[in-house]
Amino acid sequence: MKKLIPIYLIAALTLSAGSCTNDFEEVNTNDNVPNNVTPDLLLAGVIRNMVNSQVNDAWGIGNIVVQHHAKIQFVNEDRYLWGQQNGIWDNVYGNMRNVKNILDQVGTDDANGYKGIALILKSWMFALATDAYGDIPYTEATKGKTDGVYLPKYDTQESVYAGILADLSTANNILAASSTAVSGDILFGGGTGSLIKWRKLANSLRLRYLMRISKQKDVKAEMQAILADPAKNPIFEGNQDNAELKYLAAAPNQWALYGARVGSFDEFRVSKTLSDRLTALKDPRLTVFGRPSQSSVTAGKPVIEGVPNGLGDVPALNYNGGPQGVSRIGYTFACLVCNDPGQAPPDPAAPRGILMNYSELQFTLAEAREKGLITTGTAEGYYTKGVQSNFEYWKSVVPSSYGIDVTPDASYYTQPAVAYTGTSAEKLGKIALQKWIAYYFNGLEAWFDWRRTGLPEIKPGPDNLNQNRVPVRFIYPLSEQSLNGPNREEAVKRQGTDDLNTRTWVAK
């Protein structure tokens, strides 16, 4: 039998509901949920998200396309069957909202260190996007909430880079005058002491990006001006200035790849291009980047041997007798349970998420000096510092418990393939090779740099699906066709066909 609700109770409920309408907003305000988040909390999240994106971009595409790694299963990336790659687009524009929130909170306070740091992050993030796609939404991006701009126009890559370089210069000046004790800075440690490190990053990035556009613009004066006044424009002075996220041994800030499925790690192996080049140089960094194949260990003659890039599924999986005959990725970067027989789990605090390092800067300066873009220093001096500092870097990163000696033999620097001798073209080739090695696991930077110089050589694999061409950009996300179609179409008409082989402005 159904129970009837007394009519007086219904009336009471009705009157009670009606009495709340006058203070509805007050009653529905949750005091435990903040309406505004302070810059320090936003900063930590942006750094973590973007550096993790950098690591994942290196793992999924960057290390593959420049042939540091190769795949033995699910080989589409290695054969250039890419489709849309939305990671950078989604992460840059998603996290840019919080960068804008920092800038909006700081406003016109040019003494606030958070403003300078936000401009540096904005510049780096938009550089990632434009380097990957070409023309992108820039001046109207992230203005939906504040300005009602929901269909942002695409700016030319040239104008995006002009904005990036201007913001980096402004950031350096803001931080020079700031005394902000920064919190939430998980990249450089925060406090007032981190401000100089952010300034060094800003100016080092300026040199990176000036070199990147040097095929299209005369950058001599700007590069030389940075180097001519180190007090005003400090740059990286050693590995201690590297912009890198040091991951923790425990969650939540662990090595970004620990969230990947275990089987994924065994799909990625050392590339034969990497193992052949470093073996020919007798370069001990190879022992950091790879592990001896299991079959060679079983035979008593351990050797790191890679697999060629761009093989089809069957030949890739069967190469050199199968997975036992191909080297796994280095112990420092391995998942916690992806170990060879008898091997202890790797140290989870060893991997780093690299934004930019000192070695890269030195190789950029070596190239600039060799090409006559700067007059400060010597090309050989910069080049030698670049090589030496990268060896020192990996010595500091690899735990001593691994038993890996990264010290090169004394003859390393005098061998013909390394010594800074030969024609200018030969010297530039040596700079590019060492820079390629130093770019290991640094997002897509090695690919961006190769696209500009064509050095060192990258040969498409025998089973590639891109007509023997190495891709030079990502296609725009397909969602842009439906959500921002006219602006995307205008960019495509201006830039060229929206495919993997259309060179963007910086690389033409």
User: In this structure, how many other beta carbons lie within 10 angstroms of the beta carbon of residue 365?
Assistant: 28
Task: Look at residue 47 and tell me if it is in a domain.
Answer: yes
Q: Are residues 410 and 309 in the same domain?
A: no
Query: Is the distance from CB of 249 to CB of 349 less than 8 angstroms?
Result: yes
Q: Are residues 182 and 49 in the same domain?
A: yes
Q: Are residues 219 and 361 in the same domain?
A: yes
Tally of domains in the chain: 2
**Taking Cα atoms as reference points, which of 461, 440, 453 lies closest to residue 68?**
440
DSSP class of 353: E
Q: Are residues 209 and 305 in the same domain?
A: no
pLDDT in tens, the chain (508 residues): 444 444 333 344 344 444 444 554 555 666 665 667 899 999 999 999 999 999 999 999 999 999 999 999 999 999 999 999 999 999 999 999 999 999 999 999 999 999 999 999 999 999 999 999 999 999 999 999 899 999 999 999 999 999 999 999 999 999 999 999 999 999 999 999 999 999 999 999 999 999 999 999 999 999 999 999 999 999 999 999 999 999 999 888 899 999 888 878 899 999 999 999 999 999 999 999 999 999 999 999 999 999 999 999 999 999 999 999 999 999 999 888 877 777 788 899 999 999 999 999 999 999 999 999 999 999 999 999 999 999 999 999 999 999 999 999 999 999 999 999 999 999 999 999 999 999 999 999 999 999 999 999 999 999 999 999 999 999 999 999 999 999 999 999 999 999 999 999 999 9
**Taking Cα atoms as reference points, which of 101, 88, 90 lies closest to residue 41?**
101
CATH number for the domain harbouring residue 157: 1.25.40.390
What pLDDT score does 255 carry? 93
Q: Are residues 237 and 265 in the same domain?
A: no
Task: Look at residue 11 and tell me if it is in a domain.
Answer: no
Q: Which domain holds residue 312?
A: 261-278+291-332
What pLDDT score does 262 carry? 80
Query: Is the distance from CB of 307 to CB of 70 less than 8 angstroms?
Result: yes
Q: Are residues 216 and 325 in the same domain?
A: no
Q: Is the peptide bond before 486 cis (omega within 30 degrees of 0)?
A: no
The sign one gets for the Cα dihedral 125, 168, 174, 389 is positive
Q: Are residues 252 and 270 in the same domain?
A: no
Task: Look at residue 303 and tell me if it is in a domain.
Answer: yes
Task: Look at residue 388 and tell me if it is in a domain.
Answer: yes
Q: Are residues 362 and 445 in the same domain?
A: yes
Q: Are residues 250 and 312 in the same domain?
A: no
The sign one gets for the Cα dihedral 366, 474, 260, 251 is positive
**Taking Cα atoms as reference points, which of 208, 187, 207 lies closest to residue 198?**
187
Task: Look at residue 10 and tell me if it is in a domain.
Answer: no
Task: Look at residue 55 and tell me if it is in a domain.
Answer: yes
Query: Is the distance from CB of 101 to CB of 37 less than 8 angstroms?
Result: yes
DSSP H helices, 34-112, are 39-57, 63-65, 87-106
Query: Is the distance from CB of 418 to CB of 412 less than 8 angstroms?
Result: yes
Structure tokens given for 338? 């992806």
Task: Look at residue 17 and tell me if it is in a domain.
Answer: no
Task: Look at residue 386 and tell me if it is in a domain.
Answer: yes
What pLDDT score does 423 carry? 98
| Collapsed DSSP state (helix, strand, coil) of residue 504 | coil
Q: Are residues 269 and 387 in the same domain?
A: no
Distance CA 69, CA 56 (A): 13
Residue 224: is it exposed, middle or buried by C-beta count within 10 angstroms (0-12/13-18/19+)?
Answer: middle
Side-chain half-sphere of 122: how many Cα atoms within 13 Å? 29
Q: Are residues 502 and 379 in the same domain?
A: yes
What pLDDT score does 28 carry? 60
What pLDDT score does 337 carry? 82
Side-chain half-sphere of 412: how many Cα atoms within 13 Å? 17
Q: Are residues 484 and 399 in the same domain?
A: yes
Residues 6+ apart with CB under 8 A from 125: 50, 92, 95, 96, 99
